[in-house]
Chain A
Amino acid sequence: MRFHAEISHDANFWNEIVIASEHTHLFHRWEWLKTVENRLGFKFHPLVIYKGSTPVGIYPVFSKSKYFYKFAFSPPPYTGISYLGPALVDYADLKEDKRLSILKGLVESVDKFVFSELGASYFLTNVSPNLKDVRPYKWLNYDIDLIFHYILDISRGVENVWKGFKKEARENVKKAIKWGFKFEMGEPDDIKTIYEMLKGRYKEQGLKMKINLSYLREICDLFSDSIKIFLCRRDGEVVTGIVALCFKDRISFWIGGAKSDAKYANDLIHWEAIKWACENGFKYYEEFGAGTERLARFKSKFNPDLVVAFSVKKYRSFHVRILEGIYKLGRNYLNI
């Protein structure tokens, strides 16, 4: 049976698939994706993939034209979306040959949409960590890179999680409490404080904060039930804060936790966020990005498991690959 991708305009149907699929996060929600389109100037292509007349999955694709080229992304850059990509339904229950056949059909139909219908020159997808099989991308000559995340099983209970921490992390938390750091839940408005702290930290490192505050504010307002803000104060002043996303049985540390003079405050805030998540019935504490050496070391203090995920990309031609190289050079070394 043939596979084909169709643009969907049905937000309810889309969100039903987001709930049913094991490859989704809050990022896949229709409202989040529409906010990216409305706020950040990317064109959203909400693709539903059908096998015959049966929907087998969704694939949110964004595009943007620049100069003579059209670029396609899932997710687009500077949106704070850690991963997006394909989300399949009833995938885990299938036998391997069916799984492979559906995944292959889905990836091929989206590849056809992006390069033939959309006419894109470049397509990048950061795939969900729950989708481990990227063979269909390999067969279509995508470049495949590895992304790492951490996941901490907190279903064992607060005490066991605490015991699993590296001794140094436990000591740091105790010191933070002793030094008078106080933890509290924040309000959506506190995103501004966390944002400013991150911006300051980026500046110290000679980097620009490219994510937009008004976009973050809108996301926090839109998902006020699912987004939790944790703050740490000393003498009434906020010294650090993190924003976490709640989705199904997971709570994911999203943004914040900028390095500051308030030593040990970040250890305390992670511990308090983990405690809150345990008390509120979550099973997993997810930390995006374990592939950066320095950050990986900080995050591994909490004794998480490593999760491997994939970033896949394809260029229409060799000169687009060179253009990407020049762009990266500018971004990383010239800070433009």
Chain B
Amino acid sequence: MPVNIRIEIARDRNMWNEAVQHHGTIFHTWEWLKCIERQTKTKLYPIEAYIGDELLCVLPIFVRKSLLTMVFSPPPKSLLLYLGVVFTKQYGNLRKFERAFEDFVAVLNDFISSEFGSCIVRIRSPPFVHDLRPFKWGGYLVTPHYTLSIDLGRELNEIWSSFDKKVRNNIRKTEREGCLVELGEWKELDRLRVMIAERFTAQGMKPTKGYYREYLLELFREFHENMKVFAAKLDGEVVGGFVGLTFRDRFLLWIGIPRVSLKGMYPNDLAIWEGIKWAKENGYRYFEIMDAGDDSRLSRYKSQFNPKPELWFSAIGLFGWLRFLSSPLKRFLR
């Protein structure tokens, strides 16, 4: 029985941000988590796990209590794919990491059971956490997902020639047609937001009212330095593009690239290429085209840029009486 790990709820924003700075993502920063809490109308529990006085790891969880209590990291409708546990140091030794992680999951399960009783838990870990055995051993159903990452450590020419021929031609054609990619501001981000919502409507889906306007505006103000809007414009009008995020050595293609029907023009392809060039010039090591690997059409589109699929994992756990529903419900929720 693990007795040496204790869980605390973080109160100190600076200490939290310090903990996630080296091994976390931008989504783990205190400010982003607070934006999620407001957007998703959940309650944030920024969990810190200590061994003695040493901070082992952090895990932000969001709790929604209604008929059924749901515990998420990240919650739905936060425009995030993954969040999960961040360890404060890199373990050079697998068995030490295994032990620490396993003990943490056992303590976490106790914490969840005592705080929330019967509930559904979904924790989606970032791409650099691969040993999910402690979640499996702790009774979670763990399933793989794939995001896509381009190594910018190579020469730009090499990256360009690694693209599919078709996408290279698309980019050239779009440039010839006079499409330009600019670093935009809120106006461009807002236009992209509307285009994404329109695309959902065209696909027969019903986007939420206002489609994340307040949330994105708040994030844009808070993370102005890290948020890069790559807007593809034709005659001054936004016709495609995406919102990128910078953190540590990664550039994330976060949201955007709405499908565009302009004959002979591919503004999203051009915007991605300009984003890659910008990320490389600005010293980032990886350009991640964020993905879950669930949609065959999208994965095939993104694969034209020759990224490497990177694994990330989702863990679903059931607590209390919900355990009896185990397998079928977990598979449905994954």
A interface, CB within 8 angstroms of B: 95-97, 99-101, 104, 132-136, 138-139, 143-144, 146, 148, 166, 290-291, 293, 296-297, 300-301, 303-306, 308, 310, 325
Contact = CB atoms under 8 A, between A and B. Distances in A.
B94 A306 contact: yes
Contact of A135 (B98, B146, B306): B146
Contacts of B300: 97, 100-101
Nearest to A322: B328
Given A146-B132, A303-B93, 20 more contacts: A95-B162, A97-B164, A97-B306, A99-B303, A100-B299, A101-B300, A132-B311, A134-B144, A135-B293, A135-B296, A144-B143, A146-B313, A148-B131, A290-B133, A291-B133, A293-B137, A297-B98, A301-B95, A303-B94, A325-B327
Contacts of B133: 148, 290-291, 293, 296, 306
22 contacts: A95-B306, A96-B303, A96-B306, A96-B307, A97-B303, A97-B306, A99-B303, A100-B299, A104-B296, A133-B309, A136-B296, A143-B331, A144-B143, A146-B136, A146-B313, A148-B131, A166-B95, A291-B133, A297-B98, A300-B98, A303-B93, A303-B94
Contacts of A136: 296
Contacts of B132: 146
Nearest to A164: B93
A310 B94 contact: no
A100 B95 CA distance: 34
Nearest to A304: B94
B142 interface: yes
A135 B144 CA distance: 9
Which label, helix, strand, loop or mixed, suits the secondary structure of the B interface? mixed
A96 B149 CA distance: 11
A233 B286 CA distance: 53
A104 B309 CA distance: 14
Contacts of A306: 94, 130-131, 133
Interface in B296-334: 296, 299-300, 303-309, 311, 313, 327, 331
Contacts of B299: 100, 135
A92 B191 CA distance: 40
Nearest to A133: B309
A266 B144 CA distance: 34
Interface extent on B, as a size class? 20 to 34
B98 A308 contact: no
B224 to A, nearest CB: 33
B294 interface: yes
A95 B146 contact: no
A139 B164 contact: no
A308 B312 CA distance: 11
A146 B98 contact: no
A191 B313 CA distance: 39
Given A143-B331, A300-B95, A100 B136 contact: no
Contacts of B130: 306, 308
B126 to A, nearest CB: 15
A146 B164 contact: no
Nearest to A150: B94
A139 B296 contact: yes
A96 B308 contact: yes
A299 to B, nearest CB: 9
Contacts of A291: 133, 136
A133 B93 CA distance: 26
Contacts of B313: 146
* Closest 10 pairs (CB-CB, A-B): A300-B95, A97-B303, A139-B296, A96-B303, A96-B306, A135-B293, A100-B303, A95-B306, A97-B164, A97-B304
A192 B131 CA distance: 36
B167 to A, nearest CB: 9
B276 to A, nearest CB: 14
B303 A296 contact: no
A96 B144 CA distance: 18
Contacts of B137: 293
A310 B145 CA distance: 12
Contacts of B307: 96
A100 B295 CA distance: 13
A305 to B, nearest CB: 7
Contacts of A101: 300
A290 B98 CA distance: 11
B193 to A, nearest CB: 28
Contact of B146 (A104, A133, A301): A133
